Amino acid sequence: MKPSKLKPAQRVISWVLQLVIITILGYASYLKLSDHAAEIDLFSKLGMEPAGRFIIGFIEAAACVLLLLPNAAVHGAILTFGVMLGALIGHSTKIGFVGMTPLAALLLIIISTVVIYLRRKQIPSIARMLN
């Protein structure tokens, strides 16, 4: 099934937002996968060191890749939304709201929501309903 096309303006906005997500998320993923000290500290607090750190790092990397593909971007955004929801849960229950990370998570949630909204018709189960 062909995913439905976006209007030009929507497409531009969506791509700008996707690139913002990729920048932040890509950096976060890089820090995790390259054993950055702050990340090790974080995941120790969650009791997920080291496996959890690698899993999340990989998911974030995967989301970045998906966000680069026109037809899969919406899935990348959904993945971002999910991971960041988890991050917020972590910050509010175990880590506390310190530094830039929780703010970045919040920002990503908002941006990915907008991308999902713009590209909602490309979500397969919704696209099916439109036929």
Partner 1 sequence: MSASVDLHKISKFANLAIPSLAGLFFLGGHFVSFYFHFLTVVFLILTIVNLFYMFVQKKHAILRNFGILGQARYILESVGPEMRQYLFASDTEERPFSRVERSDIYRKSKGVDSASSFGSQLNFDNSEIKVRHSMYPSDKEDIVQFSLTFGEERGIEQTFTIRKPYMVSAMSYGALGVNAVKALSRGAKMAGIAMNTGEGGIPKYHMEEGGDLIFQMGTAKFGVRNEDGTLNDEKLKKLAAEPSIKMIEVKLSQGAKPGKGGLLPKEKISKEISELRGVPMNRDVVSPAHHKECVCKKSTVAFIKHVQDVSELPVGIKLCVGLTSEFRQLVEEMMLQDVFPDYIAIDGAEGGTGAAPKAFMDGYGMPLMPALYSVNNILTELGVRDRTKIIAAGKLINSSQQFMALALGADAIYSARGFMLALGCIQSMLCGSNTCPVGITTHDPDLQRGLVVEDKAKRIVNYVNGLEHDFYEMLAASGIRDAKDINIDQLYIPNDTALADQIEYLLEKHQSSLIS
Residues 99-128 that bind partner 1 (CB under 8 A): 125, 128
Q: How far is the CB of 47 from partner 1 (least distance, A)?
A: 6
CB atoms within 10 A of CB 78: 18
Q: Does 129 bind partner 1 (CB under 8 A)?
A: yes
Nearer to partner 1, 76 or 90 (CB): 90
Preceding omega of 70 cis (within 30 degrees of 0):
no
The CA distance from 109 to 81, in Å, is 5
Tokens linked to 3: 């995913």
The CA distance from 131 to 119, in Å, is 16
Nearer to partner 1, 76 or 81 (CB): 81
Q: How far is the CB of 58 from partner 1 (least distance, A)?
A: 13
Among 9, 47, 98, 100, indicate the residue that binds partner 1 (CB under 8 A).
47
Q: Tally the residues of the chain.
A: 131
Nearer to partner 1, 85 or 104 (CB): 85
Among 48, 62, 72, 104, indicate the residue that binds partner 1 (CB under 8 A).
48
Q: Burial-class residue 13 by CB neighbours within 10 Å (0-12, 13-18, 19+).
A: middle
Interface residue list for partner 1 (CB under 8 A): 46-48, 52, 78, 81-83, 85-86, 89-90, 93-94, 125, 128-129, 131
